[in-house]
């Protein structure tokens, strides 16, 4: 009677639940995603696209969905579109608007109660919510943002044992960079669904993180599967948003194979030119095949791309012409992505293949770059730029030509050319530039080459202009030599030479002329003083004597004067050139050499000359293209002397080549000042002996191996260990330490070589008391005098116990034994009567004081022990 009453009450309730909107949410959601569009200030339009199971009654009750805005608020947004598609799929579009409170990152999300039933890789999918989200970053530094739109639907068909292809077809109108990740599907509260697994594949399931191409090769079992793709959006290196797409793949058993799209490749096109290429597809099973295209170029408001015909359908094979007449407004930093989709009409389901390519639209090169040298400047000129939507120009310079012509997809000026960006023009209407080396003037003797690049608001760069080169007029002296001939503290000598001016404007500067040699020293580099003067333009050499070339280097400048009577003036000065000064730093079996390189010409190589202990002359021992050299394999304690010979040239024609100069002589004696490398320490504890065995090895073959002994460091507590011992035999690499009372402690090792150089301490290894069995008491012993288990003692192997406080009570609570000795050794006698205690159960309380890395720590044991004779 009771059971019938309960059923009588529950049955109507159950029927109401099943027929209510809450009860029909089951077998509903297949796939979904959220995108957003900026409207004004902090107001955005949100679009939620979902694909649902058409037969589900829930479709009729889903005119609104709840959106959580990520700012602590939520709203109901309305379904604007509902369209029935084949294969029991309904397309739903929900739209809403929201004003966010201010700059921050907001996670906009929706959790819909139920997915459709029977999803193979989601346990109990019919009762599992579908959770999707998009991240929106509002930042005054990054600018307003629109999310990518996903052009290719997230529900598609596949066949068992056949590859499945998909791409979200993401297009970002802002030109932001996109990356892709395959992630687990989300469920209740946005958490990863418990038990979720990726679909099983015969070979692999991959997602290209740069293109978004998904390849499932190949499904093993028919059924419905869901995966999630996280599409992240990047601007100037910062993540600015993301979309989590939850998609469904319906796999059936069939003999059909997907169609094949012939190879199409990434490409580039110059803005203003036409891009044309053929796309072909065929079906290996002789089905009809339909070819379509989508992507950013198809969505442009003006001058969009097209595929002709579209769609293109044919029996077994088909082809279509991709056409795009590009314009300047198409230029952007990143490429456009285009997706081609081939679909057959096979049975029981149609299969698809996809190809994605990237098309970069590049701004045209600034045209007809020319130059005019004037004085110590060069004026650049070029034609009006054809793309007025560009922002300005980058100016690049290099001291010599390269003959560079840009590649098909090579934008800007590649770094491998050695060009340097010297300036930026922010006015695209400008067509000239004066290079005065930022006020310092350009140098004679150099061949200056230039290229100009237009840049766009999103930092996209055009092709580089033609390379334009020029040299300044040779109307001043050009210094070529500042070479040490004698090294001495008092009698040093420097050889100075220069190339005479050959393009003097004799109308403005009638002559006669005079050279003035000016010199400064390295300790006072800006204080030039007059050394001498020469009145013949053909006199282009000079010897500077009585210098301290051992301790200083010298800087020289050649001034040209017009000395017409009554009209004397400085015409101009050469660039400053310095003598080479070499510094020698001795170390273990080595001398480290370095030198300055302050000259107006290009020193492209240096020859290192050495005079060894038994040599009488300098000989070449090596070469370098940079201003340093390490002379290795020397004998410690022996004297080695060096000087450097530089070889260089001016890039302009008409100068001596090569230009050879010498440094002063410098000597050094190698000495062992390099310590060994710190050893690598390991420790093995022998608990039975309360001993720690230290073992160590060398950490690097490059370190000196002249080890004399090792130092052993130890501390009984956590912290920096101190020296306790040494191992005198350098071939010994182990050490046994038996600490007092406890194995706990920290250890380190250091190596010292034969000359007293001490290595850094090795890695510090700490051993705590718990590395050995901890102090434990038994629950029974048999004091019957047979020599076996006659005493109540702790289990063997323990270490690091300072003392115990043990008390043993009989069942009436009377104390029968007590001790502070960790070994205990109770023979079962009463402490008061010294008579054997009767057989039975006794209770003990034992405070164990253990010595740890953190000092002595008390641990309490309490249990029972049974006497059995």
Token pair 């400048």: residue: 557
Task: Report pLDDT for 454.
Answer: 98
Task: Report pLDDT for 16.
Answer: 33
**Residue 641, Cβ neighbours under 10 Å: how many?**
18
Distance of CA 439 to the CA centre of its chain: 38
Taking only the tens place, the pLDDT of each residue in 145-203 is 999 999 999 999 999 999 999 999 999 999 899 999 999 999 999 999 999 999 999 99
Cα distance between the two ends of the chain: 65
Q: CA 136 to CA 147: how far, in whole Å?
A: 8
Contacts of 168 (CB under 8 A, 6+ apart): 150, 151, 152, 154, 180, 212, 229, 231, 245
- Helix (H) or strand (E) holding 198, with range, is none
Handedness of CA 836, 841, 844, 850 (dihedral sign): positive
> What are the φ and ψ backbone dihedral angles of 81, each rounded to 5 degrees?
-135, 140
Contacts of 689 (CB under 8 A, 6+ apart): 738
Cα separation values, 236 from 16, 171, 177, 240, 365, Å: 56, 18, 9, 9, 24
- Helix (H) or strand (E) holding 4, with range, is helix 2-19
Q: Could you tell me the two tokens for 604?
A: 């492209």
Give yes or no for a contact between 122 and 115, defined as CB atoms under 8 angstroms apart: yes
Q: Could you tell me the two tokens for 405?
A: 């012509």
Give yes or no for a contact between 279 and 320, defined as CB atoms under 8 angstroms apart: yes
Token pair 């390379």: residue: 467
> What are the φ and ψ backbone dihedral angles of 618, each rounded to 5 degrees?
-80, 140
Token pair 């029935």: residue: 84
- Beta partners for residue 206, in sequence order: 215
Give yes or no for a contact between 547 and 492, defined as CB atoms under 8 angstroms apart: yes
Distance of CA 399 to the CA centre of its chain: 33
Helix, strand, coil shares of the chain, percent, nearest 5, are 5, 50, 45
Q: CA 183 to CA 189: how far, in whole Å?
A: 16
Q: CA 382 to CA 388: how far, in whole Å?
A: 15
Token pair 């710190």: residue: 678
Q: Could you tell me the two tokens for 840?
A: 């039975």
Give yes or no for a contact between 120 and 46, defined as CB atoms under 8 angstroms apart: no
Q: How is residue 823 annotated by DSSP?
A: T
Bond before 367 cis per omega within 30 degrees:
no
Q: Could you tell me the two tokens for 212?
A: 């978004």
Contacts of 834 (CB under 8 A, 6+ apart): none
Characterize 170-194 residue by residue with b for buried, 16 or more Cβ atoms within 10 angstroms of its Cβ, and e for exposed.
Answer: bbbebbbbbbbeeebbbbeeeeebe
**Residue 580, Cβ neighbours under 10 Å: how many?**
24
Handedness of CA 537, 540, 545, 551 (dihedral sign): positive
Taking only the tens place, the pLDDT of each residue in 294-329 is 999 999 988 899 999 999 999 999 999 999 999 999
Q: Could you tell me the two tokens for 575?
A: 């660039």
Q: How is residue 408 annotated by DSSP?
A: T
Q: Could you tell me the two tokens for 249?
A: 């793949």
Q: CA 26 to CA 116: how far, in whole Å?
A: 6
Q: Which residues of the chain have pLDDT under 70?
A: 1-27, 701
Q: CA 620 to CA 609: how far, in whole Å?
A: 4
Task: Report pLDDT for 27.
Answer: 53
Q: CA 667 to CA 669: how far, in whole Å?
A: 7
């Amino acid at each position: 009677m009771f059971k019938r009453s309960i059923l009588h009450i529950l049955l109507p309730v159950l029927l109401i639940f099943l027929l209510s909107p809450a009860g029909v949410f089951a077998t509903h959601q297949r796939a979904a995603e959220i995108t957003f569009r900026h409207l004004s200030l902090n107001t955005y339009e949100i679009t939620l696209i979902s694909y649902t199971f058409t037969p589900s009654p829930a479709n009729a009750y889903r005119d609104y969905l709840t959106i959580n805005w990520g700012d602590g608020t939520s709203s109901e947004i309305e379904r604007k579109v509902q369209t029935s598609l084949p294969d029991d799929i309904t397309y739903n579009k929900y739209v809403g608007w929201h004003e966010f409170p201010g700059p921050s990152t907001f996670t906009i999300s929706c959790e819909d109660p139920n997915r459709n039933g029977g999803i193979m890789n989601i346990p109990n999918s019919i009762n599992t919510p579908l959770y999707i989200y998009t991240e929106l970053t509002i930042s005054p530094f990054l600018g307003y943002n629109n999310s990518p739109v996903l052009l290719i639907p997230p529900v598609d068909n596949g066949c068992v044992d056949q590859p499945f292809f998909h791409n979200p077809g993401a297009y970002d109108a802002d030109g932001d960079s996109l990356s892709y990740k395959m992630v687990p599907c989300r469920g209740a509260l946005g958490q990863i669904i418990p038990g979720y697994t990726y679909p099983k594949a015969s070979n692999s399931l991959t997602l290209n993180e740069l293109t978004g191409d998904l390849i499932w090769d190949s499904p093993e079992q028919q059924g419905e599967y869901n995966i999630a793709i996280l599409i992240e959006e990047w601007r100037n290196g910062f993540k600015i948003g993301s979309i989590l797409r939850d998609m469904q793949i319906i796999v059936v058993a069939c003999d059909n194979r997907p169609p094949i799209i012939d190879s199409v490749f990434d490409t580039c096109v110059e803005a203003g030119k036409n891009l044309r290429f053929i796309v072909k597809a065929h079906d290996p099973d002789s089905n009809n095949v339909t070819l379509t295209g989508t992507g950013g170029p198809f969505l442009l408001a003006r001058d969009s791309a097209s595929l002709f015909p579209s769609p293109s359908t044919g029996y077994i094979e088909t082809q279509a012409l991709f056409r795009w007449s590009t314009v300047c407004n198409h230029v952007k930093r990143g490429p456009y992505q285009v997706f081609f989709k081939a679909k057959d009409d096979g049975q029981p389901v149609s299969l698809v293949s996809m190809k994605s390519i990237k098309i970069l639209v590049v701004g045209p090169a600034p045209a007809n770059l020319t130059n005019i040298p004037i004085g110590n400047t060069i004026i650049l000129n070029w034609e009006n730029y054809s793309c007025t939507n560009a922002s300005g120009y980058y100016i690049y310079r290099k001291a010599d030509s390269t003959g560079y012509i840009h590649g098909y997809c090579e934008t800007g000026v590649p770094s491998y050319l050695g060009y340097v960006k010297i300036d930026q023009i922010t006015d695209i209407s400008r067509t000239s530039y004066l290079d005065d080396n930022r006020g310092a003037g350009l140098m004679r003797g150099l061949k200056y080459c230039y290229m100009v690049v237009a840049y766009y608001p999103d930092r996209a760069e055009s092709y580089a202009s033609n390379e334009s080169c020029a040299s300044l007029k040779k109307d001043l002296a050009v210094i070529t030599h500042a070479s040490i001939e004698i090294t001495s503290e008092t009698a040093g000598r420097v050889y100075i030479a220069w190339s005479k001016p050959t393009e003097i404007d004799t109308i403005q500067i009638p002559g006669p002329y005079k050279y003035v040699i000016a010199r400064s020293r390295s300790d006072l580099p800006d204080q030039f003083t007059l050394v001498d003067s020469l009145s013949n333009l053909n006199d282009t050499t000079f010897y500077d004597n009585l210098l301290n070339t051992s301790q200083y280097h010298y800087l020289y400048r050649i001034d040209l004067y017009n000395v017409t009577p009554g009209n004397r003036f400085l015409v101009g000065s050469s660039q400053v050139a310095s003598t080479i000064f070499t510094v020698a730093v001795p170390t273990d079996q080595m001398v480290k050499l370095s030198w300055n390189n302050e000259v107006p010409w290009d020193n492209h190589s240096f020859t290192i000359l050495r005079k060894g202990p038994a040599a009488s002359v300098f000989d070449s021992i090596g070469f370098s293209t940079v201003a340093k050299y390490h002379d290795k394999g020397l004998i410690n304690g022996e004297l080695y002397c060096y000087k450097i010979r530089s070889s260089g040239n001016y890039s302009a024609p008409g100068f001596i080549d090569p230009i050879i100069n010498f440094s002063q002589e410098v000597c050094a004696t190698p000495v062992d000042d390099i310590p060994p490398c710190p050893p690598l320490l390991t420790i093995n504890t022998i608990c039975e002996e309360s001993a720690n065995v230290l073992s160590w090895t060398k950490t690097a073959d490059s370190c000196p191996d002249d080890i004399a002994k090792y130092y052993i460091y130890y501390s009984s507590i956590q912290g920096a260990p101190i020296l306790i011992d040494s191992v005198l035999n350098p071939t010994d690499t182990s050490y046994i330490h038996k600490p007092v009372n406890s194995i706990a402690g920290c250890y380190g090792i250091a190596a010292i070589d034969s000359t007293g150089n001490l290595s850094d301490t090795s890695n510090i290894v700490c051993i705590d008391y718990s590395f050995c069995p901890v102090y434990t008491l038994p629950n029974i012993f048999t004091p019957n005098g047979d020599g076996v288990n006659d005493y109540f003692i702790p289990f063997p192997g323990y270490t690091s116990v300072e003392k115990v406080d043990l008390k043993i009570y009989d069942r009436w609570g009377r104390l029968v034994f007590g001790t502070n000795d960790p070994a205990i050794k109770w023979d079962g006698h009463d402490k008061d009567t010294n008579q054997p205690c009767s057989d039975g159960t006794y209770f003990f309380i034992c405070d164990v004081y253990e010595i740890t890395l953190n000092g002595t720590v008390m641990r309490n044991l309490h249990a029972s022990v049974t006497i059995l004779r």
